[in-house]
Amino acid sequence: MLDAVLVGTSGTIPLPGRWLSALLVRLGSELLLFDCGEGTQISMRQIGWGFKAISALCLSHLHADHVAGLPGLLLTIGNAGRTEPLAILGPVGTSRAVAGLRTIAPRLPFEVAVLEWTGGEAVAWNGATLSCTPLDHAIPCLGYRLDVPRHPRFDPDAARRLGVPIERWKHLQRGEPVEIDGRTVRPADVLGSARRGLRLGYVTDTRPTVAMPAFFAGADLLVCEGTYGDPADRDNAVENRHLLFSEAAGIARDAGARHLLLTHFSAKMLDPWRHVGHAQAIFPNTSVGRDHLTTTLRFDD
């Protein structure tokens, strides 16, 4: 089970009542944050999932509305008692930006490890896999994908028949062979076929890219920017390198996603839900995000 909460849904400008776009993910005992604009830590305090468990932070890009909250958040994570390392993933330039912002947060009780990605990289996080694809914005920008694997079903009757003592089942469940009286019991002897896991995508800020549908194929949840809802804003979307609602819906449709959640709304769009029809005509299961909206993803059946 994975929980994802919209920390904010505003683009460019933090508004009273609408925090800047960020997404907080809870998986097991760890937290993963996507983006960190000014005020993110305040919204997170309202959400109440805590700070200490944040083990990774993924920055889409280095525009201030996605990263200016970093020094304050790092200090707050430290005040919450974190001593384990924290990974910061982001595009080229992230190390320099983190160093610059840490001018006012030089001392932390935990190590910060920065990974600069260009697209195509992947890293293990908390039993899952975090990977990225390059987006198309005014500066280097990354879209992220989190894949949570589901272990194959374990057949206890088969394990008993093969004489595996209960205390050694965990090895087979992990995919490790076990020696029993000179015989080898392989994981395949007691495990069912592969099962569908969970896939979460996070996309902002960008124009559509050719790679997105394949990269986010079958996503259970695609959190995607929809800076403009009104089709009349097409020129603004192109000029400012953002998406219309209908374009985000096209990406979700082409990816075969299960659910599209729109975020990163232009400050001039105070009523994004009025435009949701433009997306739903293309991808019916589209929702308009709002601050603190929480979505829980569960394995099938």
Tell me which residues touch a copy of itself (CB under 8 A): 13-16, 37-39, 41-43, 45-46, 62-65, 67-69, 71-72, 75-76, 79, 96-97, 99-105
Q: Which residues contact 33 (CB under 8 A, 6 or more apart)?
A: 7, 22, 23, 24, 25, 40, 44, 54, 56, 57, 58, 73
123 near 90, Cβ under 8 Å? no
The DSSP element (H or E) to which 121 belongs, if any, is none
Catalytic residue among 35, 65, 205, 291: 65
Smallest gap from Cβ 70 to a copy of itself, in A, equals: 9
Is residue 291 part of the annotated active site? The answer reads no
Smallest gap from Cβ 4 to a copy of itself, in A, equals: 21
- Residue closer to a copy of itself by CB (options 59, 221) is 59
Smallest gap from Cβ 237 to a copy of itself, in A, equals: 19
CA dist 294 and 158 (Å) reads 40
201 near 221, Cβ under 8 Å? yes
- Using DSSP's 3-state secondary structure scheme, residue 176 falls into coil
CA dist 207 and 214 (Å) reads 16
Smallest gap from Cβ 76 to a copy of itself, in A, equals: 7
- Using DSSP's 3-state secondary structure scheme, residue 247 falls into helix
Question: Which amino acid type is present at position 41?
Answer: Q
Comparing CA positions, the residue from 155, 138, 142, 175 lying closest to residue 59 is: 142
- Residue closer to a copy of itself by CB (options 41, 206) is 41
CA dist 165 and 134 (Å) reads 48
CA dist 169 and 60 (Å) reads 41
Comparing CA positions, the residue from 62, 41, 61 lying closest to residue 52 is: 41
- Residue closer to a copy of itself by CB (options 140, 208) is 140
CA dist 248 and 224 (Å) reads 7
CB-facing half-sphere around the CA of 127: CA atoms within 13 A: 15
- Residue closer to a copy of itself by CB (options 67, 190) is 67
Smallest gap from Cβ 67 to a copy of itself, in A, equals: 6
How is residue 161 written in tokens?
């028949």
- Residue closer to a copy of itself by CB (options 27, 101) is 101
- Residue closer to a copy of itself by CB (options 37, 226) is 37
Annotated catalytic sites, by residue? 65
